[in-house]
Amino acid sequence: MKTRALVWLAVLSAAALLFAACGGEQKKEAKSAEGQEKAPAATIKLSYANFPPAPTFPCVQMERWKAEVEARTNGGVKVDTYPGGTLLEAKNMFRGVQEGQADIGCLCMSYQPGVFPLSIVTDLPVGFTSSTVASLTLWDLYLKYQPKEFAGVKVLTMFTSAPSNIMSKQPVRTLAELAGLELRASGTPSKVLGLLGATPVSMPMSQCPEALQKGVVQGLLSSLEVLKDFNFAEICRFETVTDFPVYPFAVVMNLDKWNSLPEEVKKVMDDLGREQAEWTGRYMDAHVRESLDWSKEKYGIEVFELSAADRAEAEAKTKGLVDEWTAQAQAGGLPAEAVLKDLAELKAKYEAQYAK
């Protein structure tokens, strides 16, 4: 009796499976017959790696991109996000994506000197005053020059941080007070600090909380939203607005993975490239203001502005970095002068368009 019941159960389950499978097929056919191309039949799963913790701006923009892609493909694409270096770390992000350890990765170009010889032009001291302007300038330069440093991947979007300012455990009211101060930075912003007499300690942002806690550094040079997102305001009670360089980022996809995607999915992602750059810039600029208010309210931080004389001195001392980049880029066969000219024109165009 028991055996017969089991046999029936098996027969019924097999029939149910067969029915479901046929139903699925019919559903698929019906869909394409109706021309509902938007929702691919099978869900495409993509992994997206990021190096800093979830509340920070590179991850906030990642979640926004995920939501948009999932919605615009009617759930045909599912993006699994990995913040906090859980899949790839800051320095192996680019290689990891090329090798397929993650389908998509968000990288900061300033963390890998020499790897992005053209795009890194945006982390020079060229006077960006907002992330929106710098992000759109970077994206347009990328589209125009299609630099071969990104030939091994599909670039989904680019954006930058807001201009860098000093956050410190002790007051830095003047350039003179920078002398010998150990500050965390990276890439060209580190060189800026060195030229101004500070002692730059280079490392990705993800290592900064520990370096601050352990006293390896007395502060950092970055955009001010980290006061809130990393709670740095608790330890760095003094901020100096210097408007030093921005840090450029790229979101890249493994090329084989990209080539395997259906055309309608590629279109959704291509359409998002510029939009995402602008969205991130605007989010960043607004979040810097919010973070400053929050830090004043919660920790009573003090904010200093560099004097006009100090600003002029900083500019004079660091403009050699632009010449250095120009010489290096030209030696590498890049049209450095044209890139700088375009950068200045784009910056002016977007500054006119977007009030700070």
> Which range binds ligand DTR by CB under 6 A, 191-199, 219-227, 264-272, 340-348?
219-227
Query: If binding is defined by CB under 6 A, does position 247 make contact with ligand DTR?
Result: yes
Nearer to ligand DTR, 247 or 350 (CB): 247
Q: Does 190 bind ligand DTR (CB under 6 A)?
A: no
56 or 122, CB closer to ligand DTR?
56
Nearer to ligand DTR, 171 or 209 (CB): 209
What CA–CA distance (Å, rounded) separates 340 from 317? 19
161 binds ligand DTR (CB under 6 A): yes
Q: Minimum distance from CB of 85 to ligand DTR (Å)?
A: 11
> Helix or strand or coil: residue 109?
helix
Pairing state of beta strands 104-108 and 153-160?
unpaired
Q: Is 96 in the site for ligand DTR (CB under 6 A)?
A: no
Only segment of 24-32, 49-57, 259-267, 346-354 that touches ligand DTR (CB under 6 A): 49-57
* Range list of H helices, the chain: 2-33, 57-72, 93-98, 131-145, 187-195, 208-213, 226-229, 255-259, 263-299, 308-318, 320-331, 336-353
Residue 57 binds ligand DTR, judged by CB under 6 A: yes
Closest approach of ligand DTR to the CB of residue 230, in Å: 7
Pick one of 223, 240, 254, 291: the residue that binds ligand DTR (CB under 6 A): 223
Number of residues near ligand DTR (by CB under 6 A): 13
Q: Who contacts 99 (Cβ-Cβ below 8 Å, separation ≥6)?
A: none
Instruction: Give the closest residue to 119 by CA, choosing from 97, 103, 143.
Output: 143
Residues 38 and 32: their CA atoms lie apart, in Å, by 10
- Output 52 or 105, the one with its CB closest to ligand DTR: 52
Distance in angstroms (rounded) separating the CA atoms of residues 142 and 338: 13
- On the 0-12 / 13-18 / 19+ scale of CB atoms within 10 A, 213 is exposed
In the complex, the smallest distance separating the C-beta of residue 70 from ligand DTR, rounded to whole angstroms, is 24
* Distance in angstroms between the alpha carbons of the first and the last residue of the chain: 80
- Of residues 130, 135, 218, 222, which one binds ligand DTR by CB under 6 A? 222
Q: Give the residue with the Cβ less far from ligand DTR, 153 or 221.
A: 221
CA angle 122, 127, 131 (to 5 degrees): 65
Compute the least distance from the CB of residue 282 to ligand DTR, in Å: 15
Residues of the shown chain interacting with ligand DTR in the complex, contacts defined by CB under 6 A? 52, 56-58, 108, 161, 164, 186, 205, 222-223, 226, 247
